[in-house]
Amino acid sequence: MLSPRDWWSCDGQGGRESKRPRHATPASATAWPDVEGFTRRGVLATFGLAALAWAMPRTALSQVAVSPESNGNVLVCVFLRGGLDGLSAVVPYADDDYHRARPSLGLGAPNDRNAAGRTLKLSDTFGLSPALGALMPLYESRQMAVVHAVGSRDQTRSHFEAMNAMERGLAAPGEGDASGWLARHLAARPASTASPLRAVAFGGVMPDSLRGAPGATAIQKLEDFRLQTRDAQSARARLGKLYADGTDEMAVAGRETLSVLDTLNRLDVTGYRPQNRAAYPTTGFGQGLRQAACLIRADVGLEIASLDMGGWDTHVAQGTAVGWLPTLLQELGDSLAAFAQDLGPTMRNVTISVQTEFGRRVAENAGLGTDHGRGSVMFLIGGGVQGGQVHADWPGLAPEKLEEPGDLRVTTDYRDVMAELLSARTPNPAIARVFPGHRPKSLGLIKAS
Amino acid sequence: MAAAAALSGCARVANRIGGAEIPSRLDAPAQPTSARRLTERLGFGARPGDLAQVESMGHAAWIRQQLAADQPDPLALGLQISRIDALRIDGNELRDQPQEGTIRQIQRATLLRATLSPNQLRERLADFWVNHLNIYARKGHAAYRLATDVEHVVRPHALGSFLEMIRGSSRSPAMLAYLDNTRNTNLGPNENYARELMELHTLGVDGGYTQRDIREVARCFTGWTLENRFLRPRGRLAFNPAIHDDGAKLVLGQVIPAGGGETDAARAVEIILAHPACARFISRKLAAHFLATPEGPAVVAAERAFRESHGDIRATLGPILTPEALLGAPPIVKRPLDYVISSLRAVAAETDGGPPLLQHLDAMGQPLHEWPMPDGFPTDAAAWSGSMLARWNFAYALVNGGISGTSTPMGRITDRGEGRTLAGVVPIRDAARDPNPVVQATLALCQPEFMWR
């Protein structure tokens, strides 16, 4: 049986695949071959200057102009790995076809007689899973919006392919740029500061969305990001001298890293006390958000926090009011609610997006789970969000309305949501480069700050 | 010396102190001695004593020796390799073992060979081709099939026939499963392998093929899958005619008539390999790997050599691996594997290549065979800018006995006779100098210039 934590554990047809590596993968600017780089070096070579190429400063940072344009807004991008069953998280309780397709796994209307399976009312058609109850106050105070029947155009229903497309900001995998959409966002956007902590992936794995990001850092635990030497202070001082004045890319990277270390040293990371009596779950995801809050409060120039939460590949026995999926939803909701409560008024500058690579089959399977599908949900919480709404161009769940072989149609392109988020919250002059070939539609989900 | 001449006009002026060149300016990677540059370009850097040997042999002769790659491996290496299960046992029987251990064993073999083999060019090329034909060890059952791919598809041809390597790869269960050819059927074509075969393996993204060609090549490969029938050897390559698209195909302008059956795939591979873009793409990629640029007269000559030798890798490398080209080329950033191996070699470390050492590669972001995309680990410096802390922590652990299974003979580090270099291999700049030889050795490996090759 598949373990709840093995989001990578299946091949989409019930077979077993293997886990994602637990360590950081490097960021990459471009896939090989680096055509642009070739041309640049080619020009140098043509003029007999090849030997000079490495004397010229060409660093990741030097390509990012420093300007005071930041408005201090932070994006917190949460990726639910494995394919969240959107129909269980945000239930179309008014759709009879839903109850027909989910005789065992379905949740009921907010006024359902069965108290355990009753959803929380979002609208006349949608109800929130009770496991996500912690988010209800945010929805009611219009700080949270839901997007339903949302996803990418990738139809492979393979975790690998679907995430590949989404994290690279593409319609479908296997085309276009190998760099991540967040990386291109950072590169296109004038940097407010040269902060070494512009983009941080909490959890130790650098997600593909940040592949190629200038200065993105993957951090498992803030307190573990340190020099592992007997006398770290003297090591820091000696490295400072070694890296004092080089202009080659690795020397610059070294200085950046030392600056990250200094920043983290100044913060009392272990002593960080959440405010407003916020209580984070002790899980990896909850603690990741706690660390993100710590960095946001410390005002160290963080622009993007990226967090992963795995385990959503619920092929068997996913549960309704209790069980595998509700447990995960509870962890998700409690963690996000704690984060919002901790930051309090600071949430005006912080916007959370929650996405997943695909939704799941409308009909439950014989193992009381659900197989890989298409449309799912996204959550938007915090600054700028036009909350208190479920945005859905609802395609319906009647058999003839489904996409073969029985999936919720994707009627909202996830790129429209992300493009609106970026345009409204962070000044980005080149959205077209972040989502190549895509002309974003306005959804009215985020207002400009 | 060509390099010194070429660079004499630019900002770098080298001091000669104690036989080693020390950069007088710190704003660029150090100007290495020619011998050191050669050992880092062709291989993974020098061990103590190597540089003197390269100088006494002469650069050209040493390069010839590396191209021949016929030096016997040390007994210690052979013994360690021969005990690695993943390399001895058929992949389909490995499945009873935990995947994690299998991946570690394959990584370990790479580390041991790169560190200990005198055939450094062969080992560098093995790494190059493994990345060129990258397979993600954690997709499906790839971990168990990977060793067969590395040992029988890549390594035998690392300095041999590129055409044979690609023919082998196009029949490699690990590759066909990784790039989804197992799902490529007449009713539901999957173009993943066909696309990467042309884009990444042979022709390059600008190689002149079209979407139509991708589709046609994918049709040629329909039906090639892995054996999963009862009582048959599971996981072997198998052709299922029932799911093969047996119509006529048009690949890169050439007709493959209907009814070709299982010969279609091999026919498509031959058409692709004969395409002029292949010679160009491969020689440019090789040149970029060794010379940091895919342009210039060496590449033109390499492309011609590739064509005339029908894809002989040794012949193609000839014009690229000349002392003049190698010494005149700009520096290339060390990927974590390069950094780890060159450090191990510089201090003549003894290692079992076990998990405590491999974990450092993980932390630097280069767990071997674990790059998910088919394009292999990135080569540009920007991609590795996040690895500095992990590099420093590795250097400290290596020199201070902090890696279990790996030890550094202190005599090498404290060698007074070569006070300005670490074991005669790494020049030490003033900021790294320290009365405590262990501190000095740590800092020597941490120097920005040691991040380049």
| A79 interface with B at CB cutoff 8 Å | no
pLDDT of residue B373: 75
| Mean pLDDT to the nearest integer, B89-110 | 89
Chains A and B form CB pairs within 8 A to the count of: 222
Contact B138 A8 (CB under 8 A): yes
List B residues 2-41 in contact with A (Cβ-Cβ < 8 A): 3, 6-7, 10-12, 26-29
Instruction: State how far the Cα of A335 lies from the Cα of A381, in Å rounded to an integer.
Output: 13
Determine the Cα–Cα distance for residues A46 and B6; give it in Å rounded to an integer: 15
- Pairing between β-strand A144-151 and β-strand A412-413 as defined by DSSP bridges: parallel
For residue A412, pLDDT beyond 70: yes
Chain A CB contacts of B143 below 8 Å: 18
Q: Is the pLDDT of residue A27 over 70?
A: no
Asked whether residue A66 carries a pLDDT value surpassing 50, the answer given is: no
Q: B380 contacts in A (CB within 8 Å)?
A: 28-30, 34, 37
Note the pLDDT tens digit of each residue in A93-104. 999 999 999 999
How confident is the model over B295-311, as pLDDT tens digits? 999 999 999 999 999 99
pLDDT of the residue at B128? 98
pLDDT, residue B333, reads 94
pLDDT at A349: 95
| CA dihedral over B226, B229, B235, B236, signed as positive or negative | negative
Q: Tell me the residues of chain B between 95 and 114 that have a Cβ less than 8 Å away from chain A.
A: 99
Residue pLDDT, tens place only, B3-31: 333 333 333 323 322 333 333 333 334 44
Predicted confidence at residue B9, as pLDDT, reads 32
Q: What domains does chain A contain, in order, with CATH numbers?
A: 71-434 (3.40.720)
Strand pairing report for A74-80 and A350-356: parallel
Residue A2 has pLDDT above 50, yes or no: no
CA atoms within 13 A on the CB side of A69: 14
Q: By the CB < 8 Å criterion, does A31 face chain B?
A: yes
The pLDDT confidence band at residue B157, using thresholds 50, 70 and 90, is very high
Segments making up each domain of chain B, as ranges: 2-68+333-451, 276-328
Partner residue facing A245 (CB), from B26, B383, B387: B26
Nearest residue in chain B measured CA to CA from A212: B383
Q: Which residues of A touch B436 (CB under 8 A)?
A: none
What token pair was written down for A214?
A: 């200038």
- pLDDT over threshold 60, residue A28: no
A176 pLDDT tier (thresholds 50, 70, 90): low
pLDDT in tens, B389-428: 999 999 999 999 999 999 998 766 665 545 577 878 888 8
CB A88 within 8 A of CB A325: yes
Better-scored residue on pLDDT, A6 or B381: B381
Question: Which residue out of B380, B433, B438, B442 would a mutagenesis test of the A interface target, given it has the greatest number of A Cβ atoms within 10 Å?
Answer: B380
Q: What is the mean pLDDT of chain A?
A: 81
| Mutation site, A9, A177, A221, A248, interface B, largest B CB count within 10 A | A248
- Provide the pLDDT confidence category of residue B94 given band limits of 50, 70 and 90: confident
How many other C-beta atoms are found inside a 10 Å radius of the C-beta of residue A240? 15
Which of residues 217 through 246 in chain A touch B, CB cutoff 8 A?
217-218, 225, 227-230, 235, 238-239, 241-246
Q: Is the pLDDT of residue A52 over 70?
A: no
Q: Does A19 touch chain B (CB under 8 A)?
A: yes
Pick the range with the lowest mean pLDDT from A273-277, A352-356, B2-6, B75-79: B2-6
Question: Does residue A78 register a pLDDT over 80?
Answer: yes
- Of the segments A160-164, A317-321, B277-281, which one has the largest average pLDDT value? B277-281
Taking an 8 Å cut-off on Cβ atoms, the answer to whether A214 and B29 are in contact is no
Q: Which amino acid is at B427?
A: P
For residue B6, give the nearest of A51, A174, A206 by CB distance. A51
Q: For residue range A184-243, what is the model confidence (pLDDT) as tens digits?
A: 898 777 654 556 678 899 876 678 898 767 667 778 788 777 899 999 899 999 999 999
**Nearest-CB residue to A41 (from B28, B143, B293):** B293
Say what the pLDDT of residue B425 is.
86
- Find chain B residues with C-beta within 8 A of A20's C-beta: 138
Please give the average per-residue pLDDT across B69-82, as a whole number: 96
pLDDT attached to residue A178:
62
B144, closest residue in chain A (CA to CA): A18
- Provide the Cα torsion B162, B168, B169, B170; round to 10°: 110
Residue B126 carries which side chain, given as an amino acid letter?
A
pLDDT value at position A191?
54
Highest mean pLDDT among A222-231, B104-113, B141-150, B355-364: B104-113
For residue range A270-308, list pLDDT tens digits in order.
Answer: 788 999 999 999 999 999 999 999 999 887 788 999 999
Phi, psi of B124 (to 5 degrees): -65, -40
A256 neighbourhood in chain B, CB within 8 Å: 385, 388
CB-based contact, B396 to chain A, within 8 Å: yes
What tokens appear for A147 in the block?
């997007």
Q: Which of A37, A42, A248 sits opposite B380 (nearest CB)?
A: A37
Task: Check whether B89 has a pLDDT greater than 60.
Answer: yes
How much is the average pLDDT of B195-213?
Answer: 93
Tell me if chain A has a CB within 8 Å of the CB of B383: yes
- The pLDDT value recorded for residue A208 is 85
For the stretch A362-399, pLDDT in tens is: 999 988 999 989 999 999 999 999 999 999 999 999 99
> Among A166-180, A368-382, B176-190, whose mean pLDDT is lowest?
A166-180
A443: tokens are 């959804």
How does residue A322 score in pLDDT terms, banded at 50, 70 and 90?
very high
pLDDT of the residue at B374: 84
Q: What is the dihedral of CA B371, B40, B13, B445, to 10 degrees?
A: 70
Count of Cβ atoms closer than 10 Å to residue A111 Cβ: 10
Of A164, A249, A261, the CB nearest to B333: A249
| CB-based contact A256:A301 (threshold 8 Å) | no
**3-state secondary structure (DSSP) of residue B196:** helix
Say if A259 is an interface residue toward chain B (CB within 8 Å): no
Cβ-defined contact of A32 to B204 (cutoff 8 Å): no
Is residue A151's pLDDT more than 80? Answer: yes
Chain B neighbors of A250, CB-CB under 8 A = 29, 333, 381, 384-385, 388, 448, 451-452
Supply the pLDDT for residue A401: 97
pLDDT on residue A264: 81
Q: Which residues contact A327 (CB under 8 A, 6 or more apart)?
A: A4, A131, A319
Residues B365, B387 contacting (CB under 8 angstroms): yes
Instruction: Pick A18's closest partner by Cβ from B138, B284, B429.
Output: B138
**Residue A16 has what pLDDT?**
40
> Which residues on chain B are in Cβ contact (under 8 Å) with A252?
385
CA separation (Å) from A382 to A151, A288, A418?
A: 21, 18, 14
Please report, for residues B63, B118, B157, B293, B317, the alpha-carbon distance to residue B67 in angstroms, rounded to integers and kept in the order given: 6, 12, 13, 21, 8
Q: What is the pLDDT of residue A196?
A: 66
Residues in chain A with CB shorter than 8 Å from the CB of B372 are 25, 160, 208
Split at pLDDT 50, 70, 90, the class of B96 is: confident
Q: Which of A7, A25, A263 to mutate to test the interface with B (most CBs of B within 10 A)?
A: A25
Question: For residues A144 and A8, which has the higher predicted lDDT (pLDDT)?
Answer: A144
Other beta carbons within 10 Å of A83: 30
Cβ distance of A254 and B288 shorter than 8 Å? no
Inspect the interface and report whether the beta carbons of A33 and B284 lie closer than 8 Å.
Answer: yes
Chain B closest CA to A146's CA: distance in Å?
31
Q: Is the pLDDT of residue A173 over 80?
A: no
Interface contact B285, partner A, CB < 8 A? yes
Interface probe with B: pick from A8, A16, A19, A28, most Cβ of B within 10 Å? A28
B359 vs chain A: nearest CA distance in angstroms? 9
Residue of chain A minimizing CA distance to B282: A33
**pLDDT over 90 percentage in chain B:** 70
Long-range Cβ contacts of A401-407 (<8 Å, 24+ apart): A401/A97, A402/A362, A403/A155, A403/A374, A405/A361, A406/A361, A406/A362, A406/A363, A406/A373, A407/A359, A407/A360, A407/A361, A407/A362, A407/A373, A407/A374, A407/A375
Pairing of β B421-422 and β B426-427 = antiparallel
**Residues 341-370, chain B, touching A (beta carbon < 8 A):** 362-367, 370
Identify the CA nearest to B352 among candidates B409, B313, B295, B404.
B404
Asked whether residue A63 carries a pLDDT value surpassing 70, the answer given is no
pLDDT band at B190 (very low <50, low <70, confident <90, very high): confident
A238–B431 C-beta distance less than 8 A? yes
pLDDT, greater one: A243 or B436: A243
What tens digit of pLDDT does each residue of B256-275 get? 999 999 999 999 999 999 99
pLDDT higher than 90, residue A12? no
Using CB atoms, which residue from B379, B388, B434 is nearest to A32?
B379
Nearest CA in chain A to B294: A38
